[in-house]
Structure 1
Amino acid sequence: MYIQVGSLAVQAEWIAVTGSVLLSALFFKLYDKNGLEWLINAFLVLVLIWKASFLIVEWDMEKKSLYSLLYYNGGTAGYILGALGSSIYLFFSKAHKLKVQHSFILYLVLISAYQAILIAITFGEPADFIQFAVNVVFLLVVLLFFRSLTSQTAFQLTVIAALWNVLAYSYSEELLSLSTFTAVWVPLTLQMISKKGR
């Protein structure tokens, strides 16, 4: 779905992604400046690989115009390559020094903010309201109880949020979608990084 912003049509998903990354960046700027740097770098790695993978997927079209990189991306294969590249970056960077509960809280803020923003701008079915409300509750729990969340509690909330999002995606989209992939990939990456730091 596209949203009209002035004379520009922008995908609703990109508005939600941008909003969730900005909210996460603001959150980590207040509580963990190193986490902010890793978040932004990992996001840029994902986007750059996803966009540049178009060169591989559509080589013939790319030779005609370099501007096509601005409009197109590598699709599902490019997104998965970008996610893998982002995970590799995080694994080999010093992201494992991020406090364990901060990494899981990052997931909760990213995913919950993404879902809440996306549903707010594309509200369609009554079931969307339930998903919106649950994601807002996750955000409020994190923001209100951030300082008292232990690593174990943050991990448990992350598992609940991931399962909730997979359940919601299975109702509203295909179960094997990029949204479901992201809802599972992010906490697995964060769990892998937090294990490395121990």
Structure 2
Amino acid sequence: MSFFQVGSIAIPTIWIAAFVALFIAAMFNRIVTGKKAGDWYWNGFFYYFILWKLSYVVFNLNLFLDMPMSILYFNGGTKGHIFALVILSIYMLIFASKRFPFLYEESVRLFLLYFISYKVIIGFLEKNNFEILIHLVLLSIFLFLEKGRKTQVSGQLFLLFILLELLIISSFGSILSLESVTIIWMGLIAIILGIRADKEAI
């Protein structure tokens, strides 16, 4: 894991990229559709982050009891990430989908914008210039294709960009990485939400 040094504090680059991508994706979504991201988007990220952080207590209870302040510096790791993804998925599929009527249409586009933006930002922080260029091209193509579209992203286009994203990741790392698993997992959630949107439109 790479770190970004801010004074005497070392912050993991993936934390910075994940946080900044949240706002970048919302900005691009507004440029493309003219609409701001729904509350479900911000709520989902907040729930994920809190659960991921607090899962440290569950999976490292003895260490937490010995050093309660350690929760500020550590998280639940891979187990905590999977746990938070499960709860986030339940939130989106069951609770958020009932409260936010535009969730189905927004989720697919925001999912792609978020992950591609994340890859651009983390590439910048880790100085992977060639990888940045590839993701910027991918992001530019997607924004061009989606400009002015009011309806949800088509299933074929979504799958194409997911496969391209996984291909790029496998070219610079392992296709079996946690990052790839996360993209596939959340991609499936977005597909399910997209299918629901199609059914409601009939």
Q: State the TM-score, normalizing by the size of structure 1.
A: 0.85
1:193 aligns with 193
Higher mean C-alpha deviation, range 99-108 or range 72-81 = 99-108
> How far apart are the structure 2 equivalents of 1:175 and 1:139?
20
Offset of residue 152 of structure 1: 5.4
1:109 aligns with 113
> How far apart are the structure 1 equivalents of 2:14 and 2:181?
15
Offset of residue 136 of structure 1: 1.4
2:86 aligns with 84
> How far apart are the structure 2 equivalents of 1:22 and 1:60?
36
One of 24, 30, 35 as aligned partner of 1:32:
35
- Gapped runs of 5+ residues in structure 1? none
- Gapped runs of 5+ residues in structure 2? none
Q: Superposition pairs for residues 1-198 of structure 1, below 5 Å?
A: 1-28=2-29, 31-33=34-36, 35-95=37-97, 97-98=101-102, 100-124=104-128, 129=130, 131-144=131-144, 145-148=146-149, 151=152, 153=154, 155-197=155-197, 198=200
1:89–1:185 Cα change, 3 Å = same
Counterpart secondary structure, 2:5: strand
Q: Which amino acid aligns with 1:157?
A: L
Percent identity of the aligned residues? 26
Counterpart secondary structure, 2:19: helix
Counterpart secondary structure, 1:10: strand
CA RMSD of aligned residues (A): 2.3
1:28–1:172 Cα change, 3 Å = closer
> How far apart are the structure 2 equivalents of 1:171 and 1:140?
20
Offset of residue 101 of structure 1: 4.7
1:181–1:104 Cα change, 3 Å = same
Alpha-carbon displacement from aligned partner over 1:104-148 (angstroms, at most 9, x marks no partner) = 211121011000111112124xxx61x323321232234343323
> How far apart are the structure 2 equivalents of 1:3 and 1:57?
26
> How far apart are the structure 2 equivalents of 1:149 and 1:98?
11
Contact 1:2 1:11 in 2 (8 A): yes
Contact 1:4 1:10 in 2 (8 A): yes
Q: Which amino acid aligns with 1:113?
A: S
1:75–1:2 Cα change, 3 Å = same
Q: Which amino acid aligns with 1:116?
A: V
> How far apart are the structure 2 equivalents of 1:43 and 1:121?
21
